[in-house]
A and B are shown apart, each in its own frame.
Chain A
Amino acid sequence: MRSWKAFVLVRLIRLALVLAGVAVVAFVLVKLSPVDPIDAYLGPDIARVGPEQRALITEKWGLDQPAGVQFVKWLSSMLTGDLGWSVTYNASVADVISERFRSSIVLMGLAWAFSGFIGFSLGIWAGANPGSWSDRIIRLYAYILAATPTFWIAILLLIVFSVGLRWTPVCCAAPIGMLPEDVTLLQRLHHLLLPLIALSILGIAQIALHTRVKMIEIMQSDFVLYARAQGATMLDIVLHHGARNAALPAITVLFASLGELFGGSILAETVFSYPGLGSATIEAGIRGDVPLLLAITLTATLFVSVGNTIADILYHVADPRISSASEAWQGIAE
């Protein structure tokens, strides 16, 4: 019990430090950027505002104060739950993020699960038969895709399936002009299909290559030799020794890839005009929507950090050597 509490506490402190660090860096970067929040706010009306009015807005928003004071003010309002107002969407930042996150998490979650499952299976198969034709094909596929930018794949898919074959819609998460409550699940999935494929393809290559290397190592290990000496069949070895032992590095890669997944979703969502967090990031960046941009940055940080923490916990659960080692370490520490 005690070790669990300590683990959670350490993790929370670490998470808070990471978030604080990212907040500082993000804030400094926005301050250094040529984006002027007032210009962004005014948009086309910029010509009709005189210098006096500008000064008034600057003073009202506190932009005339030193950057440090602005940061503390921003951080304290963040901590009280006030994320600010998004000019781009004319809604509170909290609302925009929660709504966008809901549609993004479906896309990212499915892409993550698919790339994990398919990539792991391909990696196991290729690693169990190294040098075979299937291994060569899987490897070729993985190398090509690992080197392919997501946005390019996305555009290619769009050209082939939406424009050429007209199998899939060109944009958005639902048919244009329909009320959200009228959209059926099938329509949603139809719109999700291409972004999902574009986003999964990248992850599959990563997981497959990592799993393949680990699997080759396992197949040459002493315990697989012993299993063969016991008369185990290939399937028996792959299932009981291979998949089990290869799962650990795959889990790590899968959770560590959450950052890339988030980055990929920005590109894929933009190409398909999918209304998720990714396309909101681009919008916020282009329009200089500082509160939204900062809040998305922190959300992404939280997302990736939680993913890494889950990977750590799973690693402890899955590998008996690690859990007993950390118990021993705690024994020494106490």
Chain B
Amino acid sequence: MSLLEIERLTVSFHRRAGLLRRVNVDCVRDISLAVARGEVLALFGASGAGKSLVAHAVMGLLPANATAGGAMRFDGRLLDPPAQAALRGSRIALIPQSIGHLDPLATVGQQLRWAARRAGHPMTVPGAVEGALSRFDLAPAVAATFPHALSGGMARRVMLAMTTVSGADLVIADEPSNGLDAENTARVFRCLKSFAEAGKAVIVISHDLSAALEIADRVVLLRDGQVAAQERANAFAGDGEALCAAYARAIWNALPQNGFSRGHHEA
């Protein structure tokens, strides 16, 4: 059974045009998807395709001028605003994409403790913070540093540690490989994969298909706020004959390592 089910999700922004007229703009339309425990789902799309909006809608973190329609269920429970408030942080965790998501004025250790307390598992044992950091190859001294002193890779690992202490069983990673070198990307991906192996459901939001394919079991391709295709990750192989949707094939063949570069050779 799926842990998270999204049925016909629509996210619309409303804004005033003139004095009386109100304009609604649908940025996400009729998106349906599901993710099960132990599965890594990649949500792929170009910038502005609505990937992050889906994540924010699931968590109930949409801006005040946006409304979500459709139905979402988590673990069989309807995801309405009170449910989202109760599940946020404790069972649904977000891994944001940049260092700017850490408070510049609080130490890493402090923020780790806050994350644990907010999830309902306060860190009371001495050395718990250092222990959580060491699982992600971060030295104990990192606990006393402020976010500005962290590198991009370290910040990402700090946020992975914050996700781990929360004990959430649905993890949504927003562009986890953005701005990271190959080594750090591999490290972050290993960790996300281990989340899935431990029975969590993982959603990876990415605009980089080849990066997402390294860990994803399934890929949902978004285009202009709609689901353009849903494919198994292992179908992205060879010439893409196994892919069902023409859009998925087009994207796959446009990757530099596939048809795109071959096309140049032929020419």
Contacts and interface: CB of A to CB of B under 8 A. Distances in A.
Interface of A: 221-223, 225-232, 236, 240-241, 244-245, 248, 318-321, 324
Interface of B: 59, 61, 85, 88-90, 93-94, 96, 98, 100-106, 114-115, 118-119, 146, 148-149, 162, 166
A231 B118 contact: yes
A299 B102 CA distance: 44
8 contacts: A223-B101, A225-B61, A226-B101, A229-B61, A229-B93, A230-B115, A232-B89, A324-B149
A226 B96 contact: yes
A222 B166 contact: no
Contacts of A227: 103, 114, 118
A321 B101 contact: no
A229 B114 CA distance: 12
B93 A223 contact: no
Nearest to B146: A320
A229 B96 contact: yes
Given A226-B102, A236-B114, 9 more contacts: A222-B98, A226-B101, A231-B89, A231-B119, A241-B103, A244-B105, A320-B146, A320-B149, A321-B104
A230 B89 contact: yes
A173 B62 CA distance: 57
Contacts of B162: 230
A231 B93 CA distance: 9
Contacts of A320: 104-105, 146, 148-149
B106 A229 contact: no
Contacts of B88: 228-231
A230 B61 contact: no
B220 to A, nearest CB: 21
B174 to A, nearest CB: 10
Contacts of A241: 103, 106
A223 B103 contact: yes
10 shortest A-B CB distances, which residue pairs? A231-B89, A229-B94, A230-B89, A320-B146, A226-B101, A231-B88, A230-B118, A222-B101, A231-B118, A222-B100
Contacts of B166: 230
Given A320-B146, A321-B146, A222 B118 contact: no
Contact of A225 (B85, B90, B101, B105): B101
Nearest to A236: B118
A76 B173 CA distance: 70
Nearest to A322: B148
Nearest to B149: A324
Contacts of B149: 320, 324
Name, among B94, B103, B162, the residue most crowded by chain A CB atoms within 10 Å (CB to CB): B103
B90 A223 contact: no
B118 A223 contact: no
Nearest to A241: B103
Nearest to A229: B94
A11 B106 CA distance: 29
Contacts of B103: 223, 227, 240-241, 244-245
- The residue in A221, A320, A324 that gathers the most chain B C-beta atoms within 10 A of its C-beta is A320
Contacts of A324: 146, 148-149
Contacts of B98: 222
Contacts of A248: 105
B61 A222 contact: no
A222 B104 CA distance: 11
A245 B148 CA distance: 14
B251 to A, nearest CB: 29
A228 B119 contact: no
Contacts of A236: 114, 118
A246 to B, nearest CB: 10
A274 B166 CA distance: 59
A243 to B, nearest CB: 10
A180 B146 CA distance: 53
Nearest to B55: A229
Nearest to A320: B146
- Among A222, A226, A227, A244, max chain B CB count under 10 A is at A226
Nearest to A232: B118
A223 B89 contact: no
Contacts of B102: 223, 226
A313 to B, nearest CB: 17
